[in-house]
């Protein structure tokens, strides 16, 4: 069974970050949209026939297509460390023969390499209608107020790393002041993504963090927004076409 997301609230998140656009009539690509949970929101006014979801999880795509027969669910067999280690490295994005008013990606580039984020966001800019927007989320390692502990990265390491408190503190020391870092399985990579080899059946977790300042340098012209209070711990990066 491949990954099916149990997360909701994506529509409210993007509706807020994009300042409540008029969704009806707009074409939307939910990249990494899994089983289409964005459409489950009772306030969601995206028209199903104008909604496309591309994801690498076969079971999620099947479920979405079953739940929303008028929408478009497309399987994309691209390699991903965490969600599709048997997939094809660098596979091109499926051609939907469509341009979009909105391309959304919630918690997707948090689970890919930086190189993949740069490649795909560049491609998505060519898939936007004039005036369209690409909005995707990212995690700030230093988000200060997501709980009693000071940082997102600390919380994540405490949840995932099984090597004890000493190892976690050593990782946090290495990541201090970094503009970006990646946690793959039990290993921390700071400022690079040249991973050591992992066996395919041992690939379990992959999460990348970027500071908002760094995102502004790699996406000049982007609007970088903090998480809306109580809605999410994800920052948002918005790029507009024209
Ligand atoms: C953490 S889940 C988030 C799912 C969904 N956006 C949500 O908020 O419920 C990450 C999703 O991204 C998908 N994914 C990861 N890399 C992808 C890629 N290169 N292309 C398309 N989907 C991808 C995964 O299959 C998974 O469904």
- Nearest ligand 1 atom to the CA of 7 is 9
Architecture of the 10-139+214-240 domain: 3-Layer(aba) Sandwich (3.40)
Element housing 24 (H / E): none
CB 65 within 8 A of CB 75: no
* Ligand 1 centroid distance, CA of 75 (Å): 11
**Separation of CA 2 and ligand 1 centre (Å):** 11
Cα distance between residue 225 and residue 212, in whole Å: 8
pLDDT at position 149? 43
Beta-bridge mates of residue 108: none
Ligand 1 neighbourhood includes 36 CB (under 6 angstroms): no
Measured CA to CA in angstroms, residue 21 lies from 98, 175, 227, 238 at distances of 20, 37, 18, 14
Judge if the beta carbon of residue 121 lies within 6 A of ligand 1.
no
Of 94, 109, 111, 104, which is closest to residue 134 (Cα–Cα)?
Answer: 104
- In short, whether 80's Cβ falls inside 6 Å of ligand 1 is yes
pLDDT at 163: 85
Q: Which part of the chain is CATH 3.40.50.150?
A: 10-139+214-240
What separation in Å is there between the alpha carbon of 165 and the centre of ligand 1?
30
Cβ-contact 46, 38 below 8 angstroms? yes
C-alpha separations of 231 from 149, 192, 226, 227, 228 in Å: 18, 30, 11, 7, 6
- Ligand 1, atom 12, lies closest to the CA of 32
Q: Point out the ligand 1 atom lying closest to the alpha carbon of residue 120.
A: 19
SS3 call for 40:
helix
Ligand 1 atom nearest residue 8's Cα: 9
Radius of gyration of the chain (CA): 18
Q: What is the pLDDT of residues 49-105, one digit of tens each?
A: 999 999 999 999 999 999 999 999 999 999 999 999 999 999 999 999 999 999 999
44 Cβ closer than 6 Å to some ligand 1 atom: no
108 CA to centre of ligand 1 in angstroms: 5
Span 181-207, pLDDT tens digits: 999 999 999 999 999 999 988 888 999
Residue bearing the CA closest to ligand 1, atom 10 = 108
How far away, in angstroms, is 107 Cα from ligand 1 center?
7
Q: Ligand 1 centre from 34 Cα, in Å?
A: 6
Q: What percent of the chain has pLDDT over 90?
A: 86
146 pLDDT tier (thresholds 50, 70, 90): low
Instruction: Calculate the alpha carbon distances from 76 to 66, 110, 119, 145 in Å.
Output: 17, 18, 16, 36
Q: What are 208's strand-pairing partners?
A: 182
């Amino acid at each position: 069974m491949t990954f099916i997301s149990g997360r909701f609230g994506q529509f409210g998140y993007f509706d807020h970050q994009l300042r409540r656009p008029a969704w009806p009539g707009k074409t939307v690509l939910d990249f990494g949209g899994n089983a289409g949970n964005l459409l489950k929101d009772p306030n969601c006014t995206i028209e199903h026939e104008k909604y496309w979801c591309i994801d690498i999880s076969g079971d999620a795509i099947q479920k979405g297509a079953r739940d929303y027969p008028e929408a478009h669910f497309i399987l994309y067999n691209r390699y991903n460390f965490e969600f599709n280690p048997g997939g094809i490295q660098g596979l091109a994005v499926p051609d939907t023969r469509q341009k979009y008013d909105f391309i959304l990606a919630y918690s997707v580039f948090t689970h890919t390499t930086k190189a993949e984020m740069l490649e795909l966001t560049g491609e998505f800019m060519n898939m936007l209608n004039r005036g369209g927007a690409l909005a995707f989320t990212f995690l700030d390692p230093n988000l200060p107020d997501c709980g009693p502990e000071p940082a997102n990265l600390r919380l994540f390491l405490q949840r995932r790393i099984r090597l004890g408190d000493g190892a976690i503190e050593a990782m946090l020391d290495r990541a201090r002041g970094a503009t970006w870092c990646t946690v793959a399985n039990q290993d921390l990579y700071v400022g690079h993504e040249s991973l050591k080899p992992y066996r395919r059946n041992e690939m379990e977790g992959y999460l990348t963090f970027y500071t908002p300042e760094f995102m502004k340098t790699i996406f000049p012209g982007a609007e970088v927004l903090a998480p809306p209070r109580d809605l999410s711990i994800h920052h948002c990066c918005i790029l507009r076409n024209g």
